[in-house]
């Protein structure tokens, strides 16, 4: 599922959080979006998914177009876009009162009107895929961070999206738990999903991303193959950011 971001600007008061951003991500591509804190990375992902409005430009997701100055909350186009792109957050956002299985069954039951049996079967398949069959009846509190994030991925996948937007989904995890989440993403990439990942995992970006895009002060300052951007960054701001990250 192709995403085209065409001159998108987003302001909070006088502050241009996104400043005429142009970015095209082809279907099946994996893009690692990196950049300093406050660069606008989360705002960009949220804009793609119709979770926040923007002031100028257009965003095309497949055949759907998000336009500026619309509240996208509850808007039919944004709803369609959210069906195509699941979003996963750093803090999991699982329903605490539902088991892993119930968390995954919830949207297919409520949004797709799947029968309980069908939704359960699909949820069990997804739990198997993320290696958590034995944790189906556990509540979020009983799961490790890595397990919670894998449930969150399975929950997003339950809507059969064409892509995922992942916002620093391993940042809250202990180092030894990051890899179990990253390897699930690599597995999904092989399915041809379009993945746009905000990440600080440079090793992962190098290994799994087709492209690395650097956002700073609301602007894309670098965009290219991982080896090019990570080993031979052109913009001084990228060099500075990477040297801080790797320090
Ligand atoms: N709801 C909001 N109101 C005002 N400013 C905001 C809001 N959300 C984000 N910002 C500001 O927008 C800028 C970009 O934020 P964000 O997209 O979260 O950056 P990043 O994810 O790259 O760290 C920051 O300066 C942040 O303070
Ligand atoms: Mg952020």
Contact between 105 and 86 (Cβ < 8 Å) = no
Q: Whose CA is nearest to atom 2 of ligand 1?
A: 12
Buried (b) or exposed (e) across 42-62, using 16+ Cβ within 10 A?
A: bbbbbbbbbbbbbebbebbbb
The answer to whether the CB of 53 is under 6 A from ligand 1 is no
Q: List the pLDDT tens digit at each of the 247 positions of the chain.
A: 899 999 999 999 999 999 999 999 999 999 999 999 999 999 999 999 999 999 999 999 999 999 998 776 678 888 899 999 999 999 999 999 999 999 999 999 998 999 999 999 999 999 999 999 999 999 999 999 999 999 999 999 999 999 999 999 999 999 889 999 999 999 999 999 999 999 999 999 999 999 999 999 999 999 999 999 999 999 999 999 999 987 7
Q: Whose CA is nearest to atom 17 of ligand 1?
A: 40
Q: Domain boundaries in the chain?
A: 3-93+163-246
Q: Report DSSP state, residue 90.
A: T
Q: Which ligand is nearest to the CA of 33?
A: 1
Spatial CB neighbours of 63, under 8 Å, sequence gap ≥ 6: none
Torsional sign, CA 38, 83, 28, 93: positive
Strand 3-12 relative to strand 15-25, pairing:
antiparallel
The answer to whether the CB of 10 is under 6 A from ligand 1 is no
Under CATH, which number does the domain 3-93+163-246 receive?
A: 3.40.50.300
Q: Whose CA is nearest to atom 4 of ligand 1?
A: 12
Which atom belonging to ligand 1 lies closest to the Cα atom of 44?
17
Contact between 211 and 224 (Cβ < 8 Å) = yes
How many angstroms separate the CA atoms of 134 and 141, rounded? Answer: 15
Torsional sign, CA 172, 160, 18, 242: positive
Contact between 62 and 26 (Cβ < 8 Å) = no
Spatial CB neighbours of 224, under 8 Å, sequence gap ≥ 6: 211, 212
Residue linked to tokens 């970006």: 205
Which atom belonging to ligand 1 lies closest to the Cα atom of 36?
22
Which atom belonging to ligand 1 lies closest to the Cα atom of 41?
22
The answer to whether the CB of 38 is under 6 A from ligand 1 is yes
In 3D space, the residue among 26, 20, 15, 13 whose CA is nearest the CA of residue 47 turns out to be: 20
Q: Whose CA is nearest to atom 12 of ligand 1?
A: 17
How many angstroms separate the CA atoms of 157 and 5, rounded? Answer: 24
Can you say how many angstroms the Cα of residue 123 is from the centroid of all Cα atoms in its chain? Answer: 20
3-state helix, strand, coil in the chain (%, to 5): 40, 25, 35
């Amino acid at each position: 599922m192709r995403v085209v971001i065409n001159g998108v600007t987003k302001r909070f008061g006088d502050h241009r959080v996104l400043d005429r951003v142009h970015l095209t991500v082809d279907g099946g591509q994996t893009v690692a979006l990196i950049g300093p804190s406050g660069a606008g990375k989360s705002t960009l992902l949220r804009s793609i998914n119709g979770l926040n409005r923007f002031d100028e430009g257009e965003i095309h997701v497949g055949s759907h177009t998000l336009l500026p100055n619309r509240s996208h909350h509850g808007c039919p186009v944004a709803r369609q876009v959210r069906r195509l792109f699941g979003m996963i957050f750093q803090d999991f956002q699982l329903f605490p009162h539902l088991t892993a299985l119930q968390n995954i069954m919830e949207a297919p039951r409520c949004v797709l009107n799947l029968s309980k049996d069908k939704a359960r079967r699909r949820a069990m398949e997804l739990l198997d895929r993320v290696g958590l069959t034995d944790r189906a009846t556990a509540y979020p509190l009983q799961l490790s961070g890595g397990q919670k994030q894998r449930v969150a991925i399975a929950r997003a996948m339950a809507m059969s999206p064409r892509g995922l937007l992942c916002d620093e989904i391993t940042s809250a995890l202990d180092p030894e738990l990051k890899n179990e989440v990253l390897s699930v993403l690599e597995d999904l990439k092989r399915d041809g999903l379009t993945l746009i990942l905000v990440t600080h995992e440079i090793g992962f970006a190098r290994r799994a991303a087709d492209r690395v895009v650097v956002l700073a002060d609301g602007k894309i300052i670098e965009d290219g193959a991982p080896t090019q951007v990570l080993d031979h960054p052109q913009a001084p701001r990228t060099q500075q950011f990477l040297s801080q990250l790797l320090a």
